[in-house]
């Protein structure tokens, strides 16, 4: 059995960012840039009007003759003499002779004559070439998360492909004779299988959509075969259940038969003690305990940061925050406790129903409080660290 910190360190050391791949920006959402991005155009690429109004050559004059117009998208460059103005619209190319745009609201117009009520400063309302970025600039650095704004920004620069860290394809293997599929009636002794969908949803939250789910009963042969198949087709395997010490827990043996190298088995924590972690040919295998609360705790604490590191995040570790306990905590186990809680305005409320077989508290909590193994007692008002679940 190893300590939580050691387990985290081990996984961290065994995990690298995924391969670099070039993909269309429309598929790059939630990915991390694997290379710096440079722009081949300036933005804006031409002197652009920031407002609807009139382009002029700035002077003390109030009266101008309107000699033409430029719409957004038009390539026109209209020559301007002093005392002349060109009607212009937001986003349109400003004539080379003009140095100022007067906003429509500060003018009055009679036929060709435009009177300025309020003269702006010289240079107003014109976006210069390259105001945002200049041709050749480094616009987004390696390591940047591509959210909707970043993808839109790249699109605005005409960039339609990016190099990102590849997301893993994840295999989920669910084990257990007692597990019934949704939609079928429960027979005596059965419960509905829920870990596969829980893990799938958690992976979706991580932006991972390539997921293969397999289900087997508690039998060595089918477990060996299922693990073999998932290791062939996936980069990352999550196994649910069958990793404890019962007579019908075959996962550990099946992993050994598949020659998956064990890095650790069992962590000094509650819930989630029987977590097993290993690798084969750079593919990660996490055998999660079957109890739904344990499985999800292990996912958040260990699998999530590993996935973030594979996805290319530099800050892949779970961020720990601090809150003040509203109720005391007793730790008679000498283990790290992960307690489902709600944290609101810096105050932590423990929820009832902490058993690892239960998911109700998980369903409504927003934090996992972390009680250190060596801490036997914490009082109301004491500070406690927690993993905020809304960071996921
Ligand atoms: P195991 O780790 O296989 O010994 O399972 C521990 C407990 O979790 C047992 O009560 C199982 O019935 C339950 N369990 C295991 N797998 C699942 C699952 N996929 N969905 C819901 N409960 C499960
Ligand atoms: Mg089982």
Q: Is residue 315 in some structural domain?
A: no
Has residue 332 got a pLDDT over 80? yes
Which residue's CA is the closest to the ligand 1 atom numbered 5?
290
- What distance in angstroms lies between residue 251's CA and the mean position of ligand 2's atoms? 9
Domain count for the chain, please give it: 4
Distance CA 146, CA 164 (A): 9
135 with 28, same domain: the answer is yes
Distance CA 322, CA 331 (A): 19
288 with 196, same domain: the answer is yes
For 128-148, what is each residue's pLDDT tens digit?
Answer: 999 999 999 999 999 999 999
> End of a domain among 127, 157, 185?
127
Q: Give the distance from CA 277 to its chain's centroid.
A: 24
Q: Which of 178, 291, 363 to mutate to test the pocket of ligand 1 (most atoms within 8 A of CB)?
A: 291
Confidence of residue 391 (pLDDT cuts 50, 70, 90): confident
34 with 141, same domain: the answer is yes
**Average pLDDT, stretch 122-133?**
98
- What distance in angstroms lies between residue 241's CA and the mean position of ligand 1's atoms? 6
For 65-87, what is each residue's pLDDT tens digit?
Answer: 999 999 999 998 999 999 999 99
Show the 3-state SS of the chain.
Answer: CECHHHHHHHHHHHCCCCCEEEEEHHHCCCCEECCCEECCCCECCCCEECCCEEEECCCCCCEEEEEEEECCCCCCCCCCCCCEEEEECCCCECCCCCCEEEEHHHEEEECCEEEECCCCCCCCCEECCCCCECCCCEEECCCCECCHHHHHHHHHCCCCEEEEECCCCEEEEEECCCEECCCCCCCCCCEECCHHHHHHHHHHHCCCCCEEEEEECCCHHHHHHHHHHHHHHCCEEEEECCCCCCCCCCHHHHHHHCCCEEEEECECEECCCCCEEEEECCEEEEEECCCHHHHHHHHHHHHHHHHHHHCCCCCCCCCEEEEEECCCEECCCCCEEEEEEEEECCEEEECCCCCCCCCHHHHHCCEEEEECCCCCEECCCCEEEEEEHHHC
pLDDT in the model for residue 390: 87
284 with 363, same domain: the answer is no
271 with 137, same domain: the answer is no
Indicate which CATH number applies to the domain containing 197.
3.40.980.10
Q: Which ligand is nearest to the CA of 238?
A: 1
Q: Which of 200, 202, 241, 250 to mutate to test the pocket of ligand 1 (most atoms within 8 A of CB)?
A: 241
214 with 289, same domain: the answer is yes
Indicate which CATH number applies to the domain containing 139.
3.90.105.10
- Using the structure block, give the residue that is written with the tokens 């009680």: 371
Which residue's CA is the closest to the ligand 1 atom numbered 10?
291
Ligand 1, closest atom to CA 274?
A: 2
Q: Is residue 253 in some structural domain?
A: yes
* Contact (Cβ atoms closer than 8 angstroms) between residue 243 and residue 227: no
pLDDT in the model for residue 268: 98
Q: What is the mean pLDDT of the chain?
A: 97
For 177-193, what is each residue's pLDDT tens digit?
Answer: 999 999 999 999 999 99
- What distance in angstroms lies between residue 101's CA and the mean position of ligand 1's atoms? 70
Q: Which ligand is nearest to the CA of 355?
A: 1
Q: What is the pTM of this model?
A: 0.94
Which residue's CA is the closest to the ligand 1 atom numbered 3?
241
143 with 275, same domain: the answer is no
Give, in order, the Cα–Cα distances in Å from 219 to each of 195, 274, 277. Answer: 19, 19, 21
264 with 372, same domain: the answer is no
Which residue's CA is the closest to the ligand 1 atom numbered 17?
290
Distance CA 86, CA 101 (A): 9
- What distance in angstroms lies between residue 390's CA and the mean position of ligand 1's atoms? 26
38 with 82, same domain: the answer is no
**Average pLDDT, stretch 300-326?**
98
Q: Which ligand is nearest to the CA of 291?
A: 1
For 208-242, what is each residue's pLDDT tens digit?
Answer: 999 999 999 999 999 999 999 999 999 999 999 99
Residues in contact with ligand 1 by the CB-under-6-Å rule are 174, 176, 178-179, 191, 193-195, 240-242, 244, 246, 249, 289-292, 357
Q: Which ligand is nearest to the CA of 239?
A: 1
pLDDT in the model for residue 361: 98
> End of a domain among 310, 338, 362?
310
> End of a domain among 115, 148, 165?
165
- What distance in angstroms lies between residue 266's CA and the mean position of ligand 1's atoms? 17
Q: Which ligand is nearest to the CA of 174?
A: 1
**Average pLDDT, stretch 303-313?**
98
25 with 104, same domain: the answer is no
Q: What are phi and psi of 175, to 5 degrees?
A: -120, 150
176 with 281, same domain: the answer is yes
**Average pLDDT, stretch 314-327?**
97
Which residue's CA is the closest to the ligand 1 atom numbered 8?
291
For 85-101, what is each residue's pLDDT tens digit?
Answer: 999 999 999 999 999 99
- What distance in angstroms lies between residue 298's CA and the mean position of ligand 2's atoms? 16
Q: Is residue 239 in some structural domain?
A: yes
The encoded tokens of residue 294 equal 């344990």
For 4-49, what is each residue's pLDDT tens digit?
Answer: 999 999 999 999 999 999 999 999 999 999 999 999 999 999 999 9
- What distance in angstroms lies between residue 289's CA and the mean position of ligand 2's atoms? 8
The encoded tokens of residue 102 equal 């007067």
pLDDT above 90 covers a percentage of the chain that reads 99
Has residue 392 got a pLDDT over 80? no
Full domain range(s) for residue 340? 320-391
Ligand 1, closest atom to CA 294?
A: 8
């Amino acid at each position: 059995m190893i300590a939580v910190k050691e387990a985290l360190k081990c996984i961290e050391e065994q995990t690298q960012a995924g391969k670099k791949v070039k993909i269309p920006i429309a598929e790059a959402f939630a990915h991390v840039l694997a290379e710096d991005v440079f722009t081949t155009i300036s933005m804006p690429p031409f002197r652009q009007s920031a407002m609807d109004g009139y382009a002029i050559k700035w002077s003390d004059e109030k009266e101008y003759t309107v000699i033409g117009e430029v719409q957004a998208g038009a390539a026109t460059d209209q020559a301007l003499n002093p005392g002349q103005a060109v009607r212009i619209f937001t986003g349109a190319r400003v004539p080379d002779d003009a140095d100022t745009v007067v906003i429509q609201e500060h003018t009055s117009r009679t036929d060709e004559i435009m009177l300025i009520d309020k003269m702006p400063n010289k240079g107003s309302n014109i976006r210069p070439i390259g105001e945002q970025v200049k041709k050749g600039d480094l616009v987004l650095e390696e390591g940047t998360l591509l959210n909707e704004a970043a993808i839109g920004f790249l699109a605005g620069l005409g960039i339609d492909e990016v190099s990102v860290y590849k997301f893993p394809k994840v295999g989920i293997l669910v084990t257990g004779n007692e597990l019934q599929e949704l939609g079928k009636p429960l027979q005596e002794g059965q419960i509905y299988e829920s870990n596969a969908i829980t893990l799938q949803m958690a992976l979706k939250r991580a932006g991972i959509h390539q997921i293969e789910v397999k289900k087997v009963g508690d039998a060595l042969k089918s477990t060996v075969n299922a693990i073999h198949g998932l290791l062939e087709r996936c980069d990352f395997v999550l196994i649910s259940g069958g990793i404890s010490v019962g007579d019908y827990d075959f996962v550990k043996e099946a992993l050994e038969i598949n020659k998956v190298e064990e890095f650790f088995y069992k962590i000094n924590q509650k819930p989630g003690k029987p977590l097993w972690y290993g690798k084969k040919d750079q593919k990660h295998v996490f055998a999660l305990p079957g109890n739904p609360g344990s499985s999800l705790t292990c996912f958040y604490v260990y699998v999530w940061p590993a996935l973030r590191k594979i996805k290319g995040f530099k800050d892949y570790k779970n961020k720990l925050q601090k809150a003040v306990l509203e109720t005391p905590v007793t730790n008679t186990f000498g283990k790290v406790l992960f307690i489902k809680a709600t944290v609101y305005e810096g105050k932590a409320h423990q929820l009832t129903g902490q058993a690892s077989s239960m998911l109700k508290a998980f369903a409504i909590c927003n934090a996992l409080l972390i009680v250190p193994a060596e801490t036997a007692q914490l009082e109301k008002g004491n500070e406690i660290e927690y993993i905020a679940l809304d960071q996921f």
